[in-house]
Chain A
Amino acid sequence: MDIKEIQTIDHDVLVVGAGGAGIRAAIECAQLGLNTGMISKSLLGKAHTVMAEGGAAAAMGNVDKRDNWKIHFRDTMRGGKFLNQWRMAELHAQQAPDRVRELEEWGAVFDRTPDGLINQRNFGGHRYPRLAHVGDRTGLEIIRTLQDFCIHKGIATHMECTGLDLLLDSGRVAGLVGYWRETGRFVIFRTKAVIFATGGGGRAWQVTSNSWEYTGDGLGMAYRAGAELMDLEFTQFHPTGMMWPPSVKGTLVTEGVRGEGGVLLNNKGERFMFKYIPQRFAAETADTIEEAERWVKGDKNARRPPELLTRDVVARAIKKEVEEGRGSPHGGAFLDIASRRPADFIKKKLPSMYHQFKELAEVDITKEPMEVGPTLHYFMGGIRVDADTQATTVPGLFACGECSAGMHGANRLGGNSLSDLLVFGKLAGIGARDYVKNVSQGKIDEGQATAVIRNATAPLNREEGPNPYTVQEDLQKTMQQLVGLIRSAAELQKALSEIERIKKDIEKVKAHAAPQYNPGWNAAIDLNNLIVTAQAVAMAALAREESRGGHTRIDFEGEREEGLTYNVILNKDPNGKMQLRKEPRQTPPKHLADIAYAKIEDLERQNG
């Protein structure tokens, strides 16, 4: 193979991924005058952001004037079990309102308050109605707004182009090798900086809300380039995924159903969440149905219903009810809004949920309850980044959105992802610009590029080998059974040995036919990243001997004080093996610790 025959495209910055974070980062780069490229595995506007339903959290105070950024920050830290990067949570809470208002300027039409302002809804873990939303299709509104805006900014959008690996020059980013799905041909992007916005790795599990794209590509590529990964043990199982029929098991049911007054019931008809209120949230959660009902009716003195506790708490509660024999027929819980709100209200506020259940499960949610259960939804962990610039530990590589770590700590609050991708997408663009202006284009090492391409074509060139779909299913079963919602040392160790076995299958995997638009071959390539992701999650989960947020150990119940003193960091050792260390956490800045541990009333008083 002559490397000179490979197509080469030059950009100052290449953004990998075109979900909300990627497009927002690309817009920033282009507006700052950089020659900006963006690649995406799918067509523009189809990324997982479209699945975000509930809204974007931003303390604008349009519905409840008591809200302010400090309370949003406090909620985020408490939701993250205080393991968040303090500075990231601060930047996020401070900047989210401007990012949401900016979207409105770019064309987003959010639902309105009676005064004509952007309406905000209640959501799990948020003290006040805070989520700017459009019915239950907020993600679609946000990605379409970004998409429609970005096409006028001179960004070179390369659709259906998948990244394979970074190219380095003396340890810094010089480019990236990718391939076009349509032709199966390779392309080298020569760039000074690369921003990863590749999302999570939910496809490593059987029951997930994620689509085929979410194979941890950014994590895999960053890891192989020497970057550090962080907090991978924290995987969010969204409490309400669809349970039936089997083909849609895991598909997301928005938390907005509970935000709009929906309740969770077991097979005895009990609102079981009252039994699962953690001490930390007891003071701010209703402990009787009567009080919860008053809150739903708008009584500002009533405390929040326990159905709106953070996702980790609700997911574990559903699992417990099922284990103790109080589950729904397909092994979940009942989510009931039919008996609580009029049909017209449900159709107006939750139109896509109505549609989704009607068409896919033949359930009319205005008449009957939904069956729901935990589904792997989101990675709190990811590539380690600097809080202000989103720079990773590899010079020239930046990361934002779900593939980066730190903002959400041990558990993400619903609504904090759409705002995260806006805030940190922009900051990653600025970070990349500041980096790019001081560096020259690195040299492309032909040997590196050739090796990446050889590795990618290997599955097509083999005479025989395992089917990539079978290998993927094998890995998914392993992660589902052994690295699920509740974990133990014995199961995690078994998972790690299974992962080693599956690695050998991946080395031998065989894809049939030609490279042109070949999903089997594409799946074979994705396995290289999925396996890094799976191993990182399992290793980190084994190392953290406590239960915190999205990481629950049956052999180490409850939070341990020691757990707050470190973050789990993973990277590649000189021999190419994954190594783990516990990095001590810095003492939190005093001004932020004061807010995070403040009484809610003291923070409310700080508003005008």
Chain B
Amino acid sequence: MAERTFRVWRGDKTGGQFVEYKIEIDKGMVVLDAIHRIQEQKASDLACRWNCKAGKCGSCSMEINGKPKLGCMTRMNSFKEDEVITIKPLKTFPIIKDLVTDVSWNYEQNKRIAPLKLPPRPKDGKYRMYQRDADRVQEFRKCIECYLCQNVCHVLRDQHKKDKFVGPRFMIRLASLEMHPLDTEDRIEKIKNEYGSGYCNITKCCTDVCPEHIHITDNGIIPLKERVVDRFFDPIAILLHKIFGKKKSS
């Protein structure tokens, strides 16, 4: 047991400030445990989302000492013994209260994306895909929708272009559909014109914060950008597309 100091942002959309709490920390605790202890002992109305407490649901995203992280996966012993822990809500989304932000914009982006479209089932009723092809998509499907990538994306966070770019999370969603071995839908034009693939300038901040270690930029966004280039800027590919209407370039 040791007493530690936390500065937690308290407030709502009208404004707020950091409030200091000193609480006892036990061995093995994570930041989310500390927040729960603050709720139990000092501030029962401190707002914070959480669910699984095991890094699987992506609810407890927050900015801890300036770094976007999951509260449930950030161990207290990752800080220096006398370090003050400063906890803020995600910056990119509007504040609801304390550490809770309004992430509904993300859910709206997902609705804009055309879902998977498979060919009719084979005669025996069983679709076939090979594991090596599934692997590629499964990496993207590990996403737990914590929106840490959205939070650090410069286009969304600093340039406020939520109306132009769907953000890394939904580029990954698009990649999981476009690279699905059996999908027949064509989303390339929309990826360029509506979802804003051109806005990403590959700073890889999203990849750095992904708690699932998805290679968002290298494996997701860059291949999508390449498909856009192939479709719109490669004369031979344009010709082939016109003649055969072939959807997938890889």
Given the complex of chains A and B, what is the CA–CA distance between A42 and B45 in angstroms?
17
- 8 A Cβ contacts from B126-140 to A: 126-131, 134, 137-138
Stretch from A229-237, A351-359, A420-428, A475-483 at the B interface: A351-359
Contact A51 B52, CB 8 Å, known A149-B115, A151-B111, A359-B75: yes
Q: Is A356 in contact with B55, judged by CB distance below 8 angstroms? A: yes
Contact A42 B97 (CB under 8 A): no
Among residues 88 to 129 in chain B, which have CB atoms less than 8 Å away from a CB atom of chain A? 96-98, 100, 103-104, 107, 110-111, 115-116, 118, 121, 125-129
B141 CB to nearest chain A CB (Å):
6
Please tell me if the beta carbons of A109 and B180 are within 8 angstroms of each other in the complex: yes
**Once the chains are docked, how many angstroms separate the CA of A116 from the CA of B130?**
5
Q: Is B144 an interface residue (CB 8 A)?
A: yes
Instruction: Please state if A248 and B54 are interface contacts (CB–CB under 8 Å).
Output: yes
Instruction: Answer yes or no: B27 CB below 8 A from chain A CBs.
Output: yes
Total A-B Cβ pairs within 8 A: 171
- Nearest B residue (CB) for A157: B107
B96 with A517: CB separation less than 8 A = yes
A62 to B129, CA, bound (A): 13
Q: Does chain A have a CB within 8 A of B56? A: yes
Nearest residue (CB) in B for A515 is B45
Whether the Cβ atoms of A247 and B128 lie closer than 8 Å is no
| Nearest Cβ on chain B to A375's Cβ, whole angstroms | 12
Whether the pair B107, A360 counts as a contact (CB closer than 8 A) is no
Q: Mark A1-45, 1 if CB is under 8 A from B, else 0.
A: 000000000000000000000000000000000000000001111
Q: Are A46 and B57 touching (Cβ within 8 A)?
A: yes
CB distance from A78 to the nearest CB of B (A): 28
A63-71, A140-148, A434-442, A593-601 - interface stretch: A140-148
The answer to whether B47 touches A245 (Cβ under 8 A) is no
- B33 beta carbon closer than 8 Å to chain A: yes
Mask of A207-230 contacts with B, CB within 8 angstroms, 1/0:
000011100000000000000000
**Residue B161 at the chain A interface, CB threshold 8 Å:** no
- CA separation between A517 and B143, bound complex, in Å? 26
Within 8 A of A (CB), among B51-105: 51-59, 73, 75, 96-98, 100, 103-104
Counting CB contacts under 8 A, is A166 at the interface? Answer: no
Chain B residues closer than 8 Å to A356, beta-carbon distance:
54-55
Say whether B12 faces chain A, with CB atoms less than 8 Å apart: yes
Q: Does A258 contact B (CB under 8 A)?
A: no
Q: Do A247 and B118 have beta carbons less than 8 Å apart?
A: no
CA distance A152 to B137 in the complex (A): 21
Q: Judge if B29 is at the interface, Cβ distance under 8 Å.
A: yes
- How extensive is the interface on chain A, given as a class? 35 or more
Chain B residues near A247 (CB, 8 Å)? 26, 28-30, 33
Residues of A within 8 A of B173 (CB): 148
Closest to B74 in A: A359
Contacts A50-B56, A101-B125, A252-B54 given; indicate if A520 touches B45 (C-beta within 8 A). Answer: yes
Q: Whole-angstrom distance from the CB of B60 to the nearest CB of chain A? A: 10
- A536 at interface by CB-CB < 8 Å: no
**A464 on the B face (CB < 8 A):** no
Q: Are A45 and B45 in contact (CB under 8 A)?
A: no
Q: What is the minimal beta-carbon distance from A90 to any residue of chain B, in angstroms?
A: 21
Q: Is A519 an interface residue (CB 8 A)?
A: yes
Q: Report B-chain residues with C-beta under 8 Å of the C-beta of A111.
A: 131, 134, 138
Residue A445 at the chain B interface, CB threshold 8 Å: no
Once bound together, how far apart are the Cα atoms of A358 and B68, in whole Å?
A: 20
Tell me whether A345 is interfacial, beta carbon within 8 Å.
no
Q: Which of B29, B115, B116 has the most CB of A within 10 A?
A: B116
Which of chain B's residues have a CB closer than 8 A to the CB of A514?
45
Once the chains bind, are B44 and A511 in contact (CB under 8 Å)?
yes
**B54 x A251 contact (CB < 8 A):** yes
Contact B54 A360 (CB under 8 A): yes
Please determine whether B44 and A469 come into contact, CB atoms closer than 8 angstroms.
yes
Among A111, A351, A517, chain B packs the most CB atoms within 10 A around the CB of A517
A189 smallest CB distance to B (angstroms): 20
Instruction: Assess the A137–B142 pair: CB atoms within 8 A.
Output: yes
Residues 496-553 of A contacting B (Cβ, < 8 Å): 511-514, 516-521, 523
* Beyond A109-B138, A356-B54, 4 extra complex contacts between A and B, CB < 8 Å: A148-B115, A467-B40, A469-B40, A513-B45
* A interface residues with partner B (beta carbon < 8 Å): 42-48, 50-51, 62, 101, 104-107, 109-112, 114-119, 134-135, 137, 140-141, 144, 148-149, 151-152, 159, 182, 211-213, 244-248, 251-252, 351-352, 355-356, 359-362, 467-470, 511-514, 516-521, 523
